[in-house]
Amino acid sequence: MVVYDNVVLIGFMGSGKTSVGKVLARHLCKTFVDVDTVIEKEQNCSVSEIFADKGEEYFRSLEQKCINELTQNKGQVIATGGGLPIYSEISKKSLIIYIDADFDVILGRLPAKERAKRPLLHDESRAKGLFKERIGRYEELANFRVDANQSIPTFIHVALDYVL
């Protein structure tokens, strides 16, 4: 049996990684960590501010550093930003779960306030392009895919079935 150090959730912005991650962590008695939140605390500013002041490339370097550091430890459920698996390597000792929701479902689920927090979601047609580009990478990396088009409580149960 393969023993993984951590569970890592990947998927597009707003697919539900944070919501499912918190519940998974509670059920598995693991620590929940959200990469964006760690970066925001360390930098003492929001992801939007980092994008605006220092640019996307700088943000990607922070993501890589953050996931490298987090995966030195064990016993965590780690929610990643939607771009992290595209630009960063994730430790092979991680169980990677792809939280997979359709683009329209994501847009319908995210209130305007949540959309505003995500600079790459401001331009809808660009975001749709990113979505299409990224799907292949998410599928390739994942050990499991959870259909997140269902209601959040439903797909949380599906995700739990994979790891319990």
Minimum Å distance from CB 163 to ligand S3P?
A: 20
Minimum Å distance from CB 31 to ligand S3P?
A: 18
User: Any idea which residue has 């965590």 for tokens?
Assistant: 76
Answer yes or no whether residue 118 interacts with ligand S3P by CB under 6 A: yes
Answer yes or no whether residue 36 interacts with ligand S3P by CB under 6 A: yes
Burial class of residue 92 (count of CB atoms within 10 Å of its CB; 0-12, 13-18, 19+): exposed
What is the residue type of 104?
D
Of 83 and 144, CB closest to ligand S3P: 83
Minimum Å distance from CB 91 to ligand S3P?
A: 18
Answer yes or no whether residue 8 interacts with ligand S3P by CB under 6 A: no
Q: In 10 A of CB 101, how many CB atoms? A: 24
Among positions 7, 8, 9, 14, the unique one binding ligand S3P when judged by CB under 6 A: 14
Of 26 and 122, CB closest to ligand S3P: 122
**Which residues within the stretch 62-81 sit at the binding site for ligand S3P (CB under 6 A)?**
81
Of 52 and 161, CB closest to ligand S3P: 52
The answer to whether the beta carbons of residues 78 and 35 sit under 8 Å apart is yes
Nearest CA to 158 out of 24, 46, 64, 7 is that of: 24
Nearest CA to 106 out of 130, 141, 70, 79 is that of: 130
